[in-house]
């Protein structure tokens, strides 16, 4: 069943696609206007320390200086050369 699509039918598909895209853009705009909370009060939670109300004083967090701790150990290097190629003591099948 071979059907030849003409330029007219392609134009129709493009027109339907453009209409769907336009409807999606208009629908998004309408939803934005309908669901927008103009006076939602989001600005009230911006000031303060953490999630505190706006009538509080901001307190700067403080941290202590970095320390090396007990994980850093300084020793002299070993006099033995490191192994460059690992050789297993027993070969498979032997």
Query: pLDDT digits over 10-50, tens only?
Result: 888 899 999 999 999 999 999 988 887 665 555 544 454 45
Cβ–Cβ under 8 Å, residues 59 and 49: yes
Cα–Cα dist 46/49, whole Å: 9
Angle in degrees, CA 57, 37, 42, rounded to 5: 10
The pair of structure tokens assigned to 5 is: 């699509």
The average pLDDT across 70-79 equals 74
Q: What is residue 33's predicted lDDT score, i.e. its pLDDT?
A: 86
């Amino acid at each position: 069943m071979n059907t030849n699509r003409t330029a007219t039918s392609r134009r129709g598909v493009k027109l339907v696609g453009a209409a769907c895209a336009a409807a999606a853009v208009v629908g998004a705009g309408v939803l934005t206007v309908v669901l927008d909370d103009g006076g939602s009060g989001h600005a009230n939670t911006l000031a303060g320390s953490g999630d505190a109300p706006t009538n509080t004083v901001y307190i700067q967090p403080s941290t202590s200086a970095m320390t090396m701790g007990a994980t850093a150990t300084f020793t002299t290097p070993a006099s033995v050369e490191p192994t460059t190629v690992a050789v297993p003591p027993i070969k498979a099948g032997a």
